[in-house]
Structure 1
Amino acid sequence: MVTLFVCGDVMLGRGVDQILAHPGDPALREDYVRDARTYVRLAESVNGPVPAPVDPSWPWGEALRSLEEAAPDVRIVNLETAVTRADAFAPGKAVHYRMHPANLPALTVARPDVCVLANNHVLDFGRAGLEETLDSLADAGLRTAGAGRDADEAWAPAEVPLRSGGRVLVLAFGMRTSGIPPGWAASADLPGVAYVPDLSADSAAAVVRRVRQAKRAGDIAVVSVHWGDNWGYHVPQAQIRFAHALVDGGVDVVHGHSSHHPRPVEFYRDRLILHGCGDFVDDYEGIGGYEKYRDDLRIAYVVTVATATAPGRPVDMNHPAATGRPTGLRMIPLQARRIRLEPAPDGDRAWLCTTLDRVSEGARITLEPDGTLTAAPRAAAPPVRGNGP
């Protein structure tokens, strides 16, 4: 058995960057906010004073203790910010995120094994900003997936070796539906992100081919995808079909992100699909307008999957192995307060459970006595007997 930790967007730039030990230039070019420290003041206005400078562990708060207790074998995060000193704001974007490279201890403290970069903020400061991001993460000893100095590097799966002899492979890409400009796509001679233009069967097949080229028996294939809009629980049928096509092609876990709050959990052909993991670490407190979705509530997803296939052999995709089958999904509810993650109150845990159970067709969400949420396939309803003879 292998335990994975996955989460939604980890945004350590802007206001978060300003409370760390080495804040970068706070200048912004947003319509209403021109100084990143304004986001600190917004958080303080609703939840109280935020100390500064803070220890690198501050933004993660209680999530770090929860991770130590869960002891995941592999930790995967979507790093939704550039790590750069560049000041060339990408044109045509309303919001730009960057963190100073000297503040990387605020990322490494969580010990991520893979930082997914295929998102709509990693090129907020141009290709030079992306290249500095890649260099900074490499210098810190962090694996990346979903962006690179050319298309081959952007599409190359990150490989995390397992004690069992297999690997966790993380292939990441982003889509236009999440706000990624098509011009950000990596090419043969340009840095950029691994980009998929649409939810067509052909696009899904192209991703599957990459998975099949890399995957061997004993490997667990995680596809991490930045897709969909920000708000609401409806998942378009085209996105569901795309996720199903990935599983049909040999993907074991679909790790979706981009939405600002958690979206449905799905079990399909004995594999796990997280359509949207929501935000995780950021500076979004005090921004109103969508309170009904409770985007202050965050989830750490702890996924256990089986490892039963002897490693090293080629995989027969027509005969799925036990390796990659989910044996458990535990969700740890947290709450963002003072730019820090705290345990979610009991009432909010219950609200999350009720909401996710309602929107997750085919998955049963349960609130456990320890305050965590668990998910399991929902039993199919028995056939209804008619009144005929």
Structure 2
Amino acid sequence: MKKNSHNNCCHSAKQDSSYDVVGSIATNVADGFTMVAVGDLLVTRPLTKGQHPGFDTIIKILHDADVTFGNIETNIFDIRSFKGSPQAEYGGAYVTSLPELGPDLKAMGFNIVSRANNHSLDWGVEGMRETSRVLDQNGIVHAGAGENLAQAGAARFLETARGRVALLSFASTFTPLSRAADPAGEAPGRPGLNALRLARSIVVTPDMLESLRLIRNALPGFRPGVEDPSRVELAGVTYKTGDKIGYTYEADPCDVAAIMRNVRRGKQFADFCIVTNHGHEPGNWSQEPPDYAQWFAHRLIDAGADAYVVHGPHQLRGIEIYKGRPIFYSLGNFIMDNLHTPAGADMFTAYGKDPRVDTDAEVTVEEMARGYETDPGLSDPIFYESIVTIIRFEQNQLAELRLYPIELGRSMRFANRGIPRVAPTPQGKAILDRLQTLSKPFGTRIAIAKDVGVIRPGPSSRR
């Protein structure tokens, strides 16, 4: 992690695993405590009363838990009376949902959701506030967005029969102007999301680095000086030498310190602490998490997290059990229903469409076909396959994870696509086989019994 050179915001950070206060880092829930976790909720309309084959089975799984978690990747408001507007910066699409989604999420079984992601401020502060109002109205606990950084970064709490649950939400993928800030001097705080800033560098071979150095030196305005021979700054991008070409990330030390403090605080006031991150890095094309991810996940567990859930890349990544706590490096998609999403003028322009001729749906289909930047299109089958996981604790130890493979109807027409059902046996086995392969580097063994993945941690994983 790079040194902090711009201020002293990190100087008081403590060792994450060393504190000893009332409500320490130990899990403290009643036997049989269960958590259901899913990935991204790109949902734009109420679904529980519709005709969606197999969805009832999924809803039953969501209801059979003390806490049911998902990432709400939309803004909820009635566009007919909405006072805000689509922002020039947006997270790839202007995702909106009807106000009826609030009670419908509750009817599905969700009682706690994360808010920090690249769509949090697609519709400005007005959209963020209206979404908070709808969730509050329906008794759904949410974290990750607020009127300033202190509020956005704070844990929020859910009371359950088996223990008090804290949720802390942040995003490593976000639009720059959506980042919340605290007051400073006379300047007020800024509404937005809780951000984990990452400095990305590109790793190249020594020969490539030398070529980049020659290009930089030849550019007008370059002024030579003392420099690190192992890195080059060119057009705002940092290049470094390494053994494998790819991307590397350094987490901002101030953001890390603030997140760890909020994890400690959340656990001190709760029996069980969920931490969640929305991050697309290194890209939606990658089945592997970014290089900083495992180091950072371990620190979160050491600070008091009982479960760490990542979402964002729209596909599954591996599962790790660290010190008896589950780490999901991506749970993929849970719902990808994009029916009620006005595209906004900027999005029409970005995809070469004319709002006087083309429809919002045609823009959305084009966006999904192209994907994000160099990522493959979101029409790839793996983006429509995921899992619902049930996490069970006994005697304050992780007893079992059950992994139900789901598919989101990729082959169905646009109006019916994106709603989950339990995957048929051959497809479900393929999903679980892929998850076995992705989890193996983390030392995780997944058994498959009756079309369900099962993880039972051994004593070694609890140390």
Q: TM-score, normalised to structure 2's length? A: 0.64
Matched residue, 1:373: 453
Matched residue, 1:276: 330
Return the offset for 1:109: 1.5
Question: Following the alignment from structure 1 to structure 2, what is the Cα–Cα distance between the partners of residues 141 and 291?
Answer: 34
Answering whether residue 82 of structure 2 is matched by residue 82 of structure 1, we say no
Return the offset for 1:187: 2.2
Instruction: Decide which moves more: 95-104 or 283-292.
Output: 283-292
Return the offset for 1:218: 6.7
Matched residue, 1:311: none
5 Å-filtered alignment, 1:107-146, equals 107-146=105-144
Matched residue, 1:264: 318
Q: Work out whether residues 3 and 305 of structure 1, in 8 Å CA contact, stay in contact via their aligned partners in 2.
A: yes
Matched residue, 1:11: 42
Deviations 1:27-69 (A, max 9, x none): xxxxxxxxxxxxxxxxxxxxxxxxxxx826859543113334x
What code does the residue aligned with 1:374 have?
Answer: V
Match of 1:211 among 263, 270, 281: 263
Instruction: Decide which moves more: 152-161 or 215-224.
Output: 215-224
- For the residue of structure 2 that corresponds to 1:159, the secondary structure is strand
- For the residue of structure 2 that corresponds to 1:266, the secondary structure is strand
Match of 2:384 among 292, 296, 300: 296
Return the offset for 1:152: 2.4
Matched residue, 2:430: 351
Question: Following the alignment from structure 1 to structure 2, what is the Cα–Cα distance between the partners of residues 142 and 354?
Answer: 34
Q: Work out whether residues 131 and 191 of structure 1, in 8 Å CA contact, stay in contact via their aligned partners in 2.
A: no
Answering whether residue 26 of structure 2 is matched by residue 65 of structure 1, we say no
Q: Work out whether residues 267 and 377 of structure 1, in 8 Å CA contact, stay in contact via their aligned partners in 2.
A: yes
Question: Following the alignment from structure 2 to structure 1, what is the Cα–Cα distance between the partners of residues 446 and 196?
Answer: 31
Matched residue, 1:320: none
Unaligned runs of 5+ in 1: 22-53, 309-322, 381-389
Question: Following the alignment from structure 1 to structure 2, what is the Cα–Cα distance between the partners of residues 98 and 363?
Answer: 37
What code does the residue aligned with 1:267 have?
Answer: I
Match of 2:444 among 356, 363, 386: 363
Matched residue, 1:332: 404
Question: Following the alignment from structure 1 to structure 2, what is the Cα–Cα distance between the partners of residues 279 and 218?
Answer: 28
Structure 1 pair 57–195 and aligned structure 2 pair: CA distance change class (3 A)? farther
Structure 1 pair 240–347 and aligned structure 2 pair: CA distance change class (3 A)? same
- For the residue of structure 2 that corresponds to 1:101, the secondary structure is coil
Q: Work out whether residues 303 and 330 of structure 1, in 8 Å CA contact, stay in contact via their aligned partners in 2.
A: yes
Deviations 1:72-129 (A, max 9, x none): 1111110000002246111133411001213433322212111211111121111111
Structure 1 pair 305–208 and aligned structure 2 pair: CA distance change class (3 A)? farther
Unaligned runs of 5+ in 2: 1-30, 183-188, 199-249, 339-363, 370-376, 410-415
5 Å-filtered alignment, 1:14-25, equals 17=45
5 Å-filtered alignment, 1:148-187, equals 148-164=146-162, 166-175=163-172, 178=173, 180-187=174-181
Q: Work out whether residues 114 and 158 of structure 1, in 8 Å CA contact, stay in contact via their aligned partners in 2.
A: no
Question: Following the alignment from structure 2 to structure 1, what is the Cα–Cα distance between the partners of residues 100 and 271?
Answer: 35
- For the residue of structure 1 that corresponds to 2:310, the secondary structure is strand
Structure 1 pair 206–149 and aligned structure 2 pair: CA distance change class (3 A)? closer
Question: Following the alignment from structure 1 to structure 2, what is the Cα–Cα distance between the partners of residues 242 and 195?
Answer: 14
Question: Following the alignment from structure 1 to structure 2, what is the Cα–Cα distance between the partners of residues 293 and 117?
Answer: 26
Question: Following the alignment from structure 1 to structure 2, what is the Cα–Cα distance between the partners of residues 156 and 56?
Answer: 36
5 Å-filtered alignment, 1:12-51, equals 12-13=43-44, 17=45
Return the offset for 1:225: 0.8
Matched residue, 1:43: none
Structure 1 pair 131–291 and aligned structure 2 pair: CA distance change class (3 A)? closer
Instruction: Decide which moves more: 107-116 or 287-296.
Output: 287-296
Return the offset for 1:201: 7.4
Deviations 1:127-163 (A, max 9, x none): 1111111111112222111111222221221212233
Structure 1 pair 272–100 and aligned structure 2 pair: CA distance change class (3 A)? same
Question: Following the alignment from structure 2 to structure 1, what is the Cα–Cα distance between the partners of residues 313 and 159?
Answer: 30
Structure 1 pair 119–217 and aligned structure 2 pair: CA distance change class (3 A)? closer
Q: Work out whether residues 363 and 376 of structure 1, in 8 Å CA contact, stay in contact via their aligned partners in 2.
A: no
Structure 1 pair 103–254 and aligned structure 2 pair: CA distance change class (3 A)? closer
Aligned residues: 320
